[in-house]
Amino acid sequence: MGTKKEVWLGTLALMVLRTLTTMGPQHGYGLAKRIAQISGDRLSVNYGTLYPALLKLEQDGSIRSEWVISDTNRKVKLYKLTPAGRRHLERETREWHETTEILARFLKPAEEA
């Protein structure tokens, strides 16, 4: 298989919010693992990028976190989606679809444009 790609700028928050919507509360490792899994293991989520993104989402009220004891008896930080996060996800999803539609027009062969 080819080299893993880095997550595209501006898409990590969307992937995190979507993952929390579908999977429920997750810790950072679980989020990174699920994003890699959904991408067919073609995306690489750098923890140095993930945790600042989680902090930003928490600061803007899209997610909240709490420390809990895991099944392996370790203290982990769980991230949960908030109502503001659901609205953020809806807005970002709408904007992503609009952006990809515009880009698709530019990528059409000249005879189709």
The domain that holds 67 is classified in CATH as: 1.10.10.10
Domain membership of residue 24 as a residue range: 5-107
**Any domain includes 113:** no
Q: Which residue has the higher pLDDT, 86 or 70?
A: 86
Q: Report the number of secondary-structure helices (H) and strands (E) in the chain.
A: 4, 4
- Whether 93 maps to a domain, the answer reads yes
Distance of CA 37 to the CA centre of its chain: 12
> Domains in the chain: how many in total?
1
pLDDT band at 1 (very low <50, low <70, confident <90, very high): very low
Could you tell me if residue 29 is inside a domain? yes
- The pTM of this model reads 0.85
Establish if 112 belongs to a structural domain: no
pLDDT digits (tens, 9 = 90+) for 2-50: 567 667 767 899 999 999 999 999 999 999 999 999 999 998 888 899 9
Q: Would 45 be classed as within a structural domain?
A: yes
Please give the pLDDT value at position 5: 65
With b for 16 or more beta-carbon neighbours within 10 A and e for fewer, the 25-44 pattern comes to ebbbebbbebbbeeeeeebe
- For 43, the enclosing helix (H) or strand (E) is strand 43-44
